[in-house]
Structure 1
Amino acid sequence: MKEVAATRFVAPLREGGSLPGLVEADDLGLYVLKFTGAGQGRKTLVAEVVCGELARALGLRVPGLAAVRLDPVLGLGEPDQEVQGLLRSSGGLNLGMDFLSGALGFDPLAFTVDPREAGRIVWFDALVNNVDRSWRNPNLLMHRGDLWLVDHGATLIWHHNWPAAETSAARPYDASDHALARFRPDVAAAAAELAPLVTADLLAEVTARVPDAWLADEPGFDTPDALRRAHAAPLLARAAVIHTRVQGVAA
């Protein structure tokens, strides 16, 4: 994951609970920035990197990710006190996602998705236990005619309670409220195609992209690499069987 430095805070994006912001960086790119100082904390950023990079490796469309170094001085001119406080508390590395200019929010009543693509996305969401892809809040964008996946902060819920991670990761996935459930997702075909790709080597590569700073000082783990292995283990176990535990969609 590349590292850039934020040079200008453009605007807050008042969508969702984390209050992301739009920033310009020293590579002249525009990024949707998720802050380490937000209420959800750095675990949200870890989930974004692990799921975003895993999705990309599996051939799903996700915006490019970057570690964005933020100088809190950028918040001094921000008139909104909430945003100014967020910028002040988020000095250092934050997570940036490429801004997809002109993208439209996905509406399941306005767009159609073929069963193969729907199945691939539902299977992936089951793998990472994404509880935030409902028809009320799809976290999907239509950009230049293609469907893009965004916002994976509410995934990997087991990393919020490591002692119960194995039990949590073994639970079924309820897709009855999924934004793509109405498109008859072919989850079995997706599993046959994607599950063999989720290997220990791939997961090691994906988790290696999480900055050490977001993994430091986790209770029960001596090193960032130990925590990376803990993130990979449930995903490797789920990949082989999760298609049999998806509930709420037609077989």
Structure 2
Amino acid sequence: MLPEVTATRYVTPLREGGSLPGIVEADDLGTYVMKFTGAGQGRKTLVAEVICGRLGRRLGLRIPDLVRMQLDPVIGRSEPDHEVQELLKASGGLNLGMDYLPGSLGFDPLAFEVGSAEAGRVVWFDALIGNVDRSWRNPNLLVWHGRLWLIDHGATMIWHHNWSGVGTAAAKPYDASDHVLATFAPDIAAASEELAPRITEELLTEVVADVPDEWLIDEPGFESPDALRRAYVEVLLERAATVGDRITVGERTKDGPSRAPEWLRVWVDGKAAK
């Protein structure tokens, strides 16, 4: 189970994120980036963060530590921003915290070189989890102490917004043409050979066990949180076996915004993806 802390002070919002995460201090004297259950994307964003964050770390990727974070809405009484106040009021109880990386910089592919092997491992991992939000427009990568760190996995596993269509999720191809690391000649074949055998039923079962029951209850079509956990395991396990063969890296597009926010809105609204 993830360690649990309690937020003691709200420091500042991070307005780069669509869900308005915030920097907070906690009772363990740590500083975290907090993602809220009351944000517009809902609790499934936090479920995705836990599953993908824990899985990525088990595969050896650099992803900040996660904690369960308790929030008392009273913490927002002195916050001057009305939008932040409302978010804190709507997020009382259990939320998610990610270790804050002080002094980290946003990844710039023109200023930071990534090796072919590391690029391949990141692209393969993003293909496995169906990450639509690691594009050159919005990398969701940080450089900290000279190393690459992966953040923000809320726009992954898009199938869990519509479980009725999950039958096609395992075989869905992954177009990495707009991936921010596509220009670093990612060695996808080597990454697949290394990582695919490590995605076992036992590993996935351990990873999804870290998702709190509170974020899994009342999902239509599932009688219990454990039944829903099992569904995540089955999709990821089946996808891992062959996803390396369905990754394409073509010519990147030249314009247009990141697709992730629109994809999330579409699925949350219960409509078919475009």
TM-score for both structures, normalised by structure 1: 0.98
Q: Is residue 99 of structure 2 the alignment partner of residue 98 of structure 1? A: yes
Q: Is residue 176 of structure 2 the alignment partner of residue 175 of structure 1? A: yes
Name the residue aligned to 1:51: 52
**Aligned amino acid, residue 22 of structure 1:** I
Distance 2:250 2:96 in 1: 33
Q: Provide the secondary structure at the position in 2 that maps to 1:194.
A: helix
Q: Within 5 A, what are the aligned runs for 1:74-93?
A: 74-93=75-94
Distance 2:169 2:12 in 1: 37
Name the residue aligned to 1:137: 138
Shift of 1:169: 3.2
**Aligned amino acid, residue 228 of structure 1:** R
Q: Is residue 32 of structure 2 the alignment partner of residue 63 of structure 1? A: no
Name the residue aligned to 1:33: 34
% same residue: 69
Structure 1: tracts of 5 or more residues without a match: none
Name the residue aligned to 1:19: 20
Instruction: Encode CA deviations 1:139-184: one digit per residue, 9 max, x unaligned.
Output: 0000001100000000000000001012133210000000000000
Give yes or no for contact 1:106–1:141 (8 Å, CA) kept in 2. yes
Give yes or no for contact 1:37–1:90 (8 Å, CA) kept in 2. yes
How many residues are matched?
Answer: 250
Q: Is residue 223 of structure 2 the alignment partner of residue 222 of structure 1? A: yes
Q: Provide the secondary structure at the position in 2 that maps to 1:244.
A: helix
**Aligned amino acid, residue 169 of structure 1:** A
Give yes or no for contact 1:68–1:94 (8 Å, CA) kept in 2. yes
Q: Provide the secondary structure at the position in 1 that maps to 2:169.
A: helix
Give yes or no for contact 2:107–2:142 (8 Å, CA) kept in 1. yes
Q: Is residue 213 of structure 2 the alignment partner of residue 212 of structure 1? A: yes
Range 169-178 or range 50-59, more displaced: 169-178
Shift of 1:249: 5.2
Shift of 1:16: 1.9
Distance 1:65 1:13 in 2: 17
Distance 1:36 1:83 in 2: 13
Distance 1:92 1:229 in 2: 25
Instruction: Encode CA deviations 1:44-66: one digit per residue, 9 max, x unaligned.
Output: 00000000000000000000000
TM-score for both structures, normalised by structure 2: 0.90
**Aligned amino acid, residue 48 of structure 2:** A
Distance 1:95 1:107 in 2: 27
Give yes or no for contact 2:169–2:235 (8 Å, CA) kept in 1. no
Distance 1:232 1:161 in 2: 16
Distance 2:111 2:148 in 1: 13
**Aligned amino acid, residue 186 of structure 2:** P
CA RMSD in angstroms comes to: 0.9
Q: Provide the secondary structure at the position in 2 that maps to 1:100.
A: coil
**Aligned amino acid, residue 223 of structure 2:** D
Q: Provide the secondary structure at the position in 1 that maps to 2:6.
A: strand
Shift of 1:247: 1.1
